[in-house]
Amino acid sequence: MCGIVGYIGKRPAVEVLLKGLSRLEYRGYDSTGIALRLETENSEGSKIEIRKSEGKLENVQKLATSLPAQAKNSLCGIGHTRWATHGKPTTQNAHPHRTGHVVLVHNGIIENYQEIKEELLARGHKPASETDSELFGFLVLDEMAKGLGLREAVIVSFRGIIGVCSVVVMSERELGKIIGVRNGTPMVAALDPSGGAILASDAQPILEYTNDVFFMGDGDLVELSEGGAEFFDLTTGLPKKVESTHLDWSIDRIDRGGYPHYMLKEIYEQPTALVDTLNALLDRAKIESFPLAKHRGTELLMAAEELVFVACGSSWHAALLGKYWLEKYARISVSVELASEFRYRDPVLRPGALVIGVSQSGETADTLAVIRAMKKQGVPTLAVVNVRGSPIAREAEGVFFTAAGPEIGVASTKALLTQFLTLLTFAGALSAKRHHEHGKKGSTDPLTDALFKNTLVLPHALTAYLEATDGVAKQAQTIAKSLVDAKGFFFIGRGYSYPVALEGALKLKEIAYVHAEGYAAGELKHGPIAMIDSDMVVVVLAPKDAWRDKTVSNLEEVKARGARIVSIGAPSDSHLRSLSDFWIPLPELEDDALLPFAMTPAVQLLSYEIAVLKGTDIDKPRNLAKSVTVE
Ligand code: M6R
């Protein structure tokens, strides 16, 4: 996910920016860049020098060594790590973008970029990149041409923007200022005790200089200058007060990024983990949808006629969800097996079957045993694993690595979402293959293409969902307070929501030690409904998808029997909301198939907040191990 740093003060800006960007590397990115204010014009006649490159930060670090002295000594600049959504991850598309005298970096998505682009083209502008970000620079440029100052021009330009995005802008016409706007994606600002001010996508680059920060809210604008930081309201343009927060972070807490528990940190790292996993899975230089990178694993997957997943715990839930996607998009036969059962059965596998072990740790004894046994029998095996060098990764014939990074909390969160993404990507890639095989060579499948497009912007949508003020985190906290003493919980859902219901119940059991069952909503009346009374809570996963109405009928059945209802559904679903005692709205995603990526964090946060109130050892729940290496 994109990361932003901006600095003006008394320190060499290039050092502040590069160090700051290195602290934001964890967010996931595929290109980097910096822009530095110059005291006098450079050979191109401009007063802002830009260096950017595709690939890792070290590419720009190298470019920075050959900067002219006046850029090296610059005391003001902005920097960016980009993760491509609109346009490929090339140097051209990397930020900062220059538009005349305006230079900017951007994090998020301008949803109406197509309309804006057409309008700008009609006005005679010629964008140099494929990005939505660059377009904002033209808007500011045009407003400044009408006589507005930089801050006013940014405010007016923002009025035409639809989408969740933050921008940071400089102009050669007002070289003593950096303007930053937070609108859905995070931004933190601070005063540098040695003079000047800094802003960044999170507090990590700032903690180097000060522990007192301003967490900006959505719709806040900050103007950084040598004199410090002033805040304004983006809608009214009037000055506003933003309270500062003192971050009294121990080294340990800094390791946890300021979060009280690794699990919470890892919940918030999920968008980044998705970005990194997409980068690992795909060959992003290709233009088709879901272009899997070339390796043995891809060959095995593409040759398979039937998929047999083996896994345990949350990884099994991921596989179950994968089945829904694979059947729908790729029309391939899929079975999902508990590794501990499968290994002692005498299963019948058809020729062409591929056995896929899904495991976060890559060490789970039962999953490993199945992979070994299948290999012995000459059955092709594939692994979806988070830990490199782990036994399952070594044993399987082909491997796809999820890129969740180290997951410290014993209860799996971000690793699970990266498993989801990997299996969704398998569905997309197999669907594209199927489409080509059906004689539509060169053409693309609109359903798969739309899914791919929406998958690329999913991390942004998830960030906005997780980080919204008074959003899902706050809702989960409030609900937890009312339900902490409930006797037990059912999590119910149909379709894509069913595996998520299983996961919600598992999370609550694991970290809060509260009895919970996950059920396919249609199964409730076949027994468990006998348990329902007013001491029971039913968490109903009912997004507006093909299964919603049926799930709502099941909700009515448990409501009639006195259960307290927590619903998780579409923000516009007022009927569902009216039936519920507690309510967590989901984000509006273009594609129903992607809703598990938002529902899962919602149930994770609910379980987390209940566990906090129970005072359990959240990161190391009793009796559990991160790697289950015994049967
Ligand atoms: O490492 P694995 O994904 O193979 O582990 C499988 C399960 O042990 C694991 O998912 C377990 O259920 C977690 N504690 C879930 O939070």
Query: Residue 223 pLDDT more than 70?
Result: yes
The more confidently predicted of residues 207 and 462 is: 462
The pLDDT, as a whole number, for residue 251 is 47
- In this structure, are residues 616 and 512 in contact, taking their beta carbons and an 8 Å threshold? yes
Query: Residue 174 carries which side chain, given as an amino acid letter?
Result: E
In this prediction, residue 477 has a pLDDT band, given cuts at 50, 70 and 90, of very high
Q: Which of 407, 439, 463 is the last residue of a domain?
A: 463
Q: Is residue 15 situated within a structural domain?
A: yes
CA torsion through residues 498, 1, 230, 208, sign:
positive
In the chain, what percentage of residues exceed pLDDT 70? 96
Question: In sequence order, which residues have a C-beta less than 8 Å from that of residue 78 and are 6 or more positions away?
Answer: 4, 5, 6, 7, 17, 34, 35, 96, 103, 104, 105, 168, 170, 178
- pTM, two decimals, is 0.73
Centre of ligand 1 from the C-alpha of residue 352, in Å: 28
Substitution candidate for ligand 1 out of 412, 509, 623 with most atoms within 8 A of CB: 412
2 is catalytic: yes
Centre of ligand 1 from the C-alpha of residue 365, in Å: 11
Q: Is residue 518 situated within a structural domain?
A: yes
Pair 73, 90 in one domain: yes
Query: Residue 550 pLDDT more than 50?
Result: yes
Q: Is residue 623 situated within a structural domain?
A: no
Pair 438, 486 in one domain: no
Q: What is the 3-state secondary structure (H, E, C) of 510-555?
A: HHHCCCEEEEEHHHHHHCHHHHCCCCEEEEEEECCCCCHHHHHHHH
Residue 419: CB within 6 Å of ligand 1?
Answer: no
Pair 64, 96 in one domain: yes
Nearest CA residue ID for atom 11, ligand 1: 313
The pLDDT, as a whole number, for residue 497 is 98
Residue 510: CB within 6 Å of ligand 1?
Answer: yes
Pair 312, 447 in one domain: yes
Residue 169: CB within 6 Å of ligand 1?
Answer: no
Residue 340: CB within 6 Å of ligand 1?
Answer: no
Query: Residue 343 carries which side chain, given as an amino acid letter?
Result: R
The more confidently predicted of residues 584 and 55 is: 584
Tell the residue number behind the tokens 């949808």, with chain if given.
Answer: 289
Question: In sequence order, which residues have a C-beta less than 8 Å from that of residue 71 and are 6 or more positions away?
Answer: 14, 36, 38, 42, 49
Angstrom distance (rounded) from CA 565 to CA 540: 7
| Over residues 297-303, mean pLDDT | 97
The phi, psi pair for 406, rounded to 5°, reads -60, 130
Tell the residue number behind the tokens 């090339």, with chain if given.
Answer: 90
Centre of ligand 1 from the C-alpha of residue 504, in Å: 14
Pair 449, 578 in one domain: no
Query: Residue 177 carries which side chain, given as an amino acid letter?
Result: K
The phi, psi pair for 348, rounded to 5°, reads -105, 115
Query: Residue 440 pLDDT more than 60?
Result: no
The pLDDT, as a whole number, for residue 444 is 65
Q: Is residue 630 situated within a structural domain?
A: no
Query: Residue 201 pLDDT more than 80?
Result: yes
Chain segment 377-402, per-residue pLDDT in tens: 999 999 999 987 788 998 999 999 99
Query: Residue 170 pLDDT more than 90?
Result: yes
Q: What is the mean pLDDT of the chain?
A: 92
Query: Residue 408 carries which side chain, given as an amino acid letter?
Result: I
End-to-end CA separation in angstroms for the chain: 38
Substitution candidate for ligand 1 out of 267, 314, 384, 390 with most atoms within 8 A of CB: 314
Centre of ligand 1 from the C-alpha of residue 530, in Å: 30
| Over residues 456-476, mean pLDDT | 93
Return the biggest CA–CA distance within the chain.
80
Q: Which of 403, 434, 463 is the last residue of a domain?
A: 463
Angstrom distance (rounded) from CA 307 to CA 348: 13
Chain segment 504-526, per-residue pLDDT in tens: 999 999 999 999 999 999 999 89
The domain total for the chain is 3
Q: Is residue 113 situated within a structural domain?
A: yes
Chain segment 266-282, per-residue pLDDT in tens: 999 999 999 989 999 99
Chain segment 51-77, per-residue pLDDT in tens: 999 988 999 999 999 999 999 999 999
Chain segment 589-615, per-residue pLDDT in tens: 989 999 999 999 999 999 999 999 999
Centre of ligand 1 from the C-alpha of residue 411, in Å: 7
The dihedral over CA atoms of 602, 267, 200, 219, expressed in degrees to the nearest 10, equals 0
Q: Is 439 helix (H, G, I), strand (E, B) or coil?
A: coil
Question: What's the CATH code of the domain at 384?
Answer: 3.40.50.10490
Give the strand pairing for 212-215 and 306-311: unpaired
- In this structure, are residues 149 and 173 in contact, taking their beta carbons and an 8 Å threshold? no
The pLDDT, as a whole number, for residue 342 is 97
In this predicted structure, which of 70-79, 154-163, 401-410 has the lowest mean pLDDT? 401-410
Substitution candidate for ligand 1 out of 262, 270, 312, 342 with most atoms within 8 A of CB: 312
Residue 390: CB within 6 Å of ligand 1?
Answer: no
Annotated catalytic residue, options 2, 76, 165, 312: 2
Pair 225, 339 in one domain: no
Beta bridge partners of 180: 168, 222
- In this structure, are residues 319 and 334 in contact, taking their beta carbons and an 8 Å threshold? no
Pair 459, 482 in one domain: no
Query: Which atom of ligand 1 approaches the CA of 415 most closely?
Result: 3
Q: Is residue 143 situated within a structural domain?
A: yes
The pLDDT, as a whole number, for residue 554 is 95
Nearest CA residue ID for atom 14, ligand 1: 411
Residue 368: CB within 6 Å of ligand 1?
Answer: no
In this prediction, residue 374 has a pLDDT band, given cuts at 50, 70 and 90, of very high
Query: Residue 631 pLDDT more than 80?
Result: no
Residue 607: CB within 6 Å of ligand 1?
Answer: no
Q: Is residue 621 situated within a structural domain?
A: no
Angstrom distance (rounded) from CA 563 to CA 540: 11
Pair 481, 459 in one domain: no
In this predicted structure, which of 316-320, 338-342, 449-453 has the lowest mean pLDDT? 449-453
Residue 312: CB within 6 Å of ligand 1?
Answer: yes
The more confidently predicted of residues 68 and 39 is: 68
Question: What's the CATH code of the domain at 151?
Answer: 3.60.20.10
Query: Residue 252 pLDDT more than 60?
Result: no
Nearest CA residue ID for atom 4, ligand 1: 359
Q: Is residue 283 situated within a structural domain?
A: yes
Tell the residue number behind the tokens 């180290």, with chain if given.
Answer: 406
Query: Residue 87: left (phi > 0), alpha (psi -120 to 50), or beta?
Result: left
Centre of ligand 1 from the C-alpha of residue 169, in Å: 44
Q: Is 446 helix (H, G, I), strand (E, B) or coil?
A: helix
Angstrom distance (rounded) from CA 59 to CA 575: 53
Centre of ligand 1 from the C-alpha of residue 626, in Å: 7
The phi, psi pair for 38, rounded to 5°, reads -110, 150
Pair 431, 356 in one domain: yes
User: Which tokens hold the place of 240?
Assistant: 């506003």
| Over residues 527-553, mean pLDDT | 95
Query: Residue 204 pLDDT more than 90?
Result: no
Q: Which of 463, 485, 507 is the last residue of a domain?
A: 463
| Over residues 97-106, mean pLDDT | 95
Pair 456, 489 in one domain: no
Residue 360: CB within 6 Å of ligand 1?
Answer: yes
Pair 240, 337 in one domain: no
Centre of ligand 1 from the C-alpha of residue 378, in Å: 27
Pair 304, 213 in one domain: no
| Over residues 422-446, mean pLDDT | 82
Give me the DSSP letters along 37-98.
E-SS--TTS-SEEEEEEES-HHHHHHHHHTS-HHHHT-SEEEEEEE--SSS-S-TTTSSPEE
| Over residues 14-18, mean pLDDT | 97
Residue 310 structural domain: 262-463
Tell the residue number behind the tokens 């996910």, with chain if given.
Answer: 1
